[in-house]
Chains A and B, each alone.
Chain A
Amino acid sequence: MTEIIQKVKNLSIGFKSKKGEEILILRNISTNIKKGETVGIVGESGSGKSTLALAMMGYVKHGLYTIGGECEFNSSNLLKMKNRDLEKIRGRKIAMIPQNAGQALTPNLKIGYQIDEALQLHSDLKEEEREQKISELLNKVRLPSPETIALRYPHELSGGQQQRVAVAMALAGTPDLLLLDEPTTGLDVTTQAHVLELLNFIAKDTGTSMVYVSHDLGAIAQVSDRIIVMYSGEIVLEGPSRDILKKPIHPYTYGLLKSIPKLSLAGLPQSMPGSQPQPGAMHRGCSFFDRCNFSEEKCKNNSPQLEYLKELNTSVRCFNYKSLMNDSQVNQTVNKIKTSLQDKEILNLSEVSISYAKQKLLDQVLNRISDDNPTVKDININIKKGETIALVGESGSGKSTILKSIAGLLRTKGGIIKFDQNRNLSSDLKERDPNDLRIIQLIFQNPDESLNPNHTVEEIIAQPLKLYFGLKGEELKKNIIDLLQKVRLGEFYMSRYPRQLSGGEKQRVAVARAFAAKPDIILCDEVTSALDVSVQAAVLNLLQQLKEDFGTTYIFVSHDLAVVRAISDRVAVLYQGRLCEVGPSKDVYQFPSHPYTEVLLGAVLEPDPDIKPKLVAEDIVEEKPPQKGCSFQGRCSRILGDICKSEVPPWQITNSGNSIRCHIPLKELQKDQIN
């Protein structure tokens, strides 16, 4: 048996509520981390996974305290240790790679200093040796020109580079155990795939044990040997990663895997009803009881114990796991989407360009925008009624920018936005009449910020009804109730404030508000990114249902390509504010033709250990689109030569109606897909 590095025994962590009750965040957690293994801890927000990871370093956040149990490292309990002793373990024996490196690096200290600090604390190297070592470390995490990077401040690096610096910093103390708290969340798909690949390499190279905490089963699948699934502060399933991902024997994991949209499968994933109980919510019996499809009478009042199954080397907390052992067809069932596509054009963007450049004084006076290399350029899209078109691309690709301009929130530099074939929509909000405003509604990424915290749900939904239709009194109320029912919320939600709702419920209210205006087009800006996976599936299903009922057109922006695959009819791929490829989803996903589409789709992580991402291009961040030629020239692995650098590539149209903007002849682009 391999050596155990960290032993967590009956750990409970919680806080005192205002009423003085003890509320548990972690409930009786026991697990072991072995030398050299990578353990993935997965769970939705509020499941206690980050608290567990921090406890493994002997760190308990302000306001929380240890109720019982211990975290044993080198046969001493970290949670009882003095700070002075912990300082010798943290960074040296156990190191942390934080979720958001951009915020976890001290802003006023140079990168080199921050790594040097770890070296000073945890190694006996002399100054020149340390300098050498910093370069080595930065090299190891594959940062270009380490000497100059060391002299930079954190904000001068891109997100991916910051994350790499955080990895280098953690490696400085040559720790035995690395804790990673959502290390790739918030990074672009391509960057994420690269960082994960780096982590895998480091795990192999140094033999370090890793604990990888994430909500993203796709990322977990790529790195872990073993997976721990947490729900409501408890471990509900623990076992070898392949078994858990392929044959989950706990209903929660089963439901979770089913609710993740997959790249290989069109259609909407199945959603799980309800949401995770709040910490401290009174419960007897199984905490998953409310949402479980396999529950029985006894689950209601008896809580199941974690049961170790020797033959599977798996622990499971369920009375009924046997019924799942035979039926674990995680990948099969999806709700096929019906397209309600009509042949009528509803929105047409032609030659739209948008510039973020600061206006010169003269231009301000003349009220014009002059910028020869605008952020977004040459956008021509024709959107049909009832269609769901998705704009995809990495951060900085201009997808949200285009959305803002359609909504009238951002002035365009040029081009025409035409509604319903004959109505030109001004790019200036002030020049749009109320009806122009009504026909286009927006749903934002974060319902916490888009819903006024001082308004009740009733007031929030009433606003568009009053504004556009002048409804009053009983009629207004009836309409609000109707809308709430449409988004599957009961009448009693009317008097609630946003803070009294869960994330999914808030987003439903935001959806109801958008539909209240009876719009023709709804712009969805990353509407599911802030939601947990199981809730995301429910919101996607809801959006699809509403679309079928009302015949609305969606313009959907998301960085999550699997979500886009699930919901969209057509996809437009953007790079640096220029279109690369536009076509029906199924063609784009099945035969990604444009080199950038290939890169993007190759990097998507699937919750399946057998599907590895393909890393085609480097994850360089370009600050500005190139002046001339193809927008993707800087990163393209199939670049032809001068023509790509000097001429904007022409549109090529395939038989399936897929338009690709590339200099490489169609035949060759398609030939490569077959290989």
Chain B
Amino acid sequence: MLFLIIKRILLGLITLFIVSLITFVGTEILPGDACTTYLERQAFGEQLEACYRRLGLNVPAYERYVSWAVNAIQGDFGYSLSGEMPIKEVLGPRIKNSLVLASAAIFIGIPIALILGIVTALWRDKLPDVAISTVTIFAMTIPEFISATLLILIIAIWLEWLPGIVIVPTDVSFLELLPNIILPVIAIAMIMTAHMARMVRSSVIQVMASEYVQMAILKGVPYWKMVFKHVLPNALLPAINVVALTIAWLLGGVVVTEVVFNYPGLGRLVIESISNRDLPTVQALAIILASIYVSINLLADLMTLMLNPRLKTLQIRK
């Protein structure tokens, strides 16, 4: 088991290494570099040389990769172009904002998704199922830029209950941010919850039809005890991976929603730095998003391993 965990972590690190290489090579291949972009028309002669020296761009590429990687491990991604701020400082508040948005969506969305999924499965083909399923299918199919715009129109413009777009500074305190995130959270949670609820529903239905559930009924196990002991643990196991992917997707920045609401999160930063050709920031973002995906998936796999007795012993035997 321990061996397995170590192996998975190593594999994750290798993935990250490859991702960092690819992004580094990618940014190298692209014409132009940080200095030419920054200096624009003055990018020649003495000024360019000075800039290269300042940013350390005058050494061979592999050396730059090594020194970049060493610094990146310590959390130092160098300087961003715009304003010459350390990327660390640009990223910090953005990550925090994205975290706030993601965790709000997760804390609201996942329990609702589970409950809806389970309810629809247990009352399969009855009224609650039909009603909820219709709504979830709707929520799934409407793209978030439509639902987000509609939300802004109805709640912010017609009803004037909440701010329509976020116009607070990036590093605002949590309490001040709170009213601003309600609409984005609703927009994201809707689509995410719907997806997950459908997944949970089909998983629970599948387990309900299994022979061991029939056996539990024939053993005289009361209905709700059967649901909680025999059905849910087995039905929710496959959901863990889906939840993990959703969380990674949320943390990685829900680009469209952030742009629509002008929300200062990672997703918008990705768009901004790409359009500004802020290559160091793009590089940093790529590696950070990759680490989020890798580590959350790793966590999910380990959790499945822990919770599924079948996998657990299989691994030990090997």
Contact = CB atoms under 8 A, between A and B. Distances in A.
B138 interface: no
B232 to A, nearest CB: 10
A109 B213 CA distance: 12
A426 B214 CA distance: 48
Nearest to A156: B313
Contacts of A122: 220
Contact of A96 (B215, B230, B233): B215
Given A153-B309, A153-B313, A155-B309, A169 B234 contact: no
Given A108-B308, A155-B309, A103 B210 contact: yes
B223 interface: yes
Contacts of A89: 220
A211 interface: no
Contacts of B54: none
A96 B313 contact: no
A121 interface: yes
B135 interface: no
A92 interface: yes
B229 interface: yes
B18 to A, nearest CB: 20
B220 A91 contact: yes
B65 interface: no
A103 to B, nearest CB: 4
A155 B234 contact: no
A280 interface: no
A87 B222 contact: yes
Contact of B211 (A92, A104, A153, A155): A104
Contacts, number: 81
Contacts of B307: 108
A121 B310 contact: no
B306 to A, nearest CB: 12
B212 A83 contact: no
Interface in B93-125: none
B310 A107 contact: yes
A224 B237 CA distance: 42
A98 B211 CA distance: 9
A286 B159 CA distance: 74
Interface residues of A, number: 34
B22 interface: no
A121 B313 contact: no
Given A107-B309, A108-B233, A108-B309, A121 B220 contact: yes
A45 to B, nearest CB: 16
Interface in A59-99: 59, 62, 83-84, 86-92, 95-96, 98
Nearest to A110: B309
Given A91-B219, A91-B220, A104 B313 contact: no
Given A57-B218, A62-B209, A106 B313 contact: no
B221 A109 contact: no
B313 A90 contact: no
Nearest to A94: B218
A100 interface: yes
Contacts of B72: none
Contacts of B61: none
B220 A106 contact: no
B217 interface: yes
A118 interface: yes
B216 interface: yes
A83 B219 contact: no
A92 B220 contact: yes
A107 B212 CA distance: 8
A618 interface: no
Contacts of B313: 153, 155-156
Nearest to A99: B211
Contact of A91 (B209, B212, B218): B218
20 contacts: A59-B218, A62-B209, A83-B223, A86-B220, A88-B220, A90-B218, A91-B220, A91-B221, A98-B211, A100-B211, A103-B210, A104-B211, A104-B212, A104-B214, A106-B229, A117-B219, A117-B221, A121-B221, A155-B313, A166-B215
Q: Please name the 6 residue pairs, one residue from A and one from B, whose CB atoms are nearest each other, closest first.
A: A91-B220, A90-B220, A104-B215, A103-B211, A153-B309, A91-B219
Interface of A: 54, 57, 59, 62, 83-84, 86-92, 95-96, 98, 100, 103-109, 117-118, 121-122, 153, 155-156, 166, 169, 173
Given A59-B217, A106-B234, 9 more contacts: A90-B217, A91-B219, A92-B220, A104-B211, A106-B215, A106-B216, A107-B234, A109-B229, A155-B310
